[in-house]
Structure 1
Amino acid sequence: METMRKFFPAITVVLLLVVATEAMAPGQSGRPCETKSLRFEGFCMVEDNCANVCRTEGFVDGRCSTFVRNCICIKPC
């Protein structure tokens, strides 16, 4: 029981740090937010072209959608 009293404050501090870290980064779910590019014209066939246009729009990256071939811009949520 005495050893539990010694470790309790350390365990409490670690748990508080974990909770504080989670509270400081709300909305960071690990998945990217995606939206259709407003400036890309035509069918998206080359991912690099899409990514370059998305970067000019302020996004991190871009990719071509699978079926409709739209340019999809990507940023962290």
Structure 2
Amino acid sequence: MDPSRKFFPAVFVLLLLVVATEVAPTEAKRECEAASVRFKGLCMVQTNCANVCLTEGFTGGRCSSFVRKCMCTKPC
């Protein structure tokens, strides 16, 4: 068997490993949240909550699942 055929799978796996480590995120982005001050009533629509949070200086917002409060979010 030709020696180059023996090493091809090893070189291929090594190349795949290098590409995977370059593409993978190195650090998980954390997201901090705080209850909105300006949002009134029950939070039913995510976009309404997000728009109010933008006016408060946050980067986004979401409705909490149980209490239905508007929770503003931003990167920590």
User: Is the shorter-chain TM-score for this pair beyond 0.5, marking a shared fold?
Assistant: yes
Amino acid of the structure 2 residue aligned with 1:69: R
Structure 1: stretches of 5+ with no match in the other structure: 1-27
Residue aligning to 1:41: 40
SS state at 1:35 partner = strand
Distance in 1, Cα, partners of 2:55 & 2:30:
22
Distance in 1, Cα, partners of 2:73 & 2:48:
14
- Deviations 1:17-46 (CA, angstroms, capped at 9, x unpaired): xxxxxxxxxxx8621000000000000000
* Percent identity between the two aligned chains: 64
Give every structure 1 segment of 4 or more consecutive aligned residues whose post-TM-superposition deviation is greater than 3 Å: none
What TM-score comes out, normalization by structure 2 length? 0.63
What TM-score comes out, normalization by structure 1 length? 0.62
Report the structure number with the largest CA radius of gyration. 2
Structure 2: stretches of 5+ with no match in the other structure: 1-26
